[in-house]
């Protein structure tokens, strides 16, 4: 475990996980936009980028919503 996480509270760790999920959501959004602008419409691939984006945003937002009150109190 990295040194800066040794004495981190549960709220801090949840906030880091939430931020990671939101970064992953940004990546999936970029990949979905890339797929929409593809020249060959039949070569879109198999990854459900929109569903992954929505899942990551909901999970990341939920984790941050749970973590913020603990960070403010702590």
pLDDT, tens digit only, all 74 positions of the chain: 677 777 788 898 999 999 999 999 999 999 999 988 888 877 777 889 999 999 999 999 999 999 999 888 87
Q: Write down the pTM of the prediction.
A: 0.86
Tokens standing for residue 4: 């800066």
pLDDT value of residue 1: 65
Provide φ and ψ at 66, rounded to 5°: -75, -35
Residue showing tokens 């970029």:
30
pLDDT value of residue 73: 87
Tokens standing for residue 28: 């999936």
């Amino acid at each position: 475990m990295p040194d800066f996480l040794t004495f981190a509270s549960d709220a801090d760790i949840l906030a880091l996980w939430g931020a990671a999920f939101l970064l992953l959501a940004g990546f999936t959004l970029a990949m979905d936009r890339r797929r929409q602008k593809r020249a060959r419409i039949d070569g879109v691939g198999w990854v459900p980028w929109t569903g992954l984006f929505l899942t990551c945003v909901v999970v990341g937002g939920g984790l941050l919503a749970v973590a913020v009150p603990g960070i403010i109190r702590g």
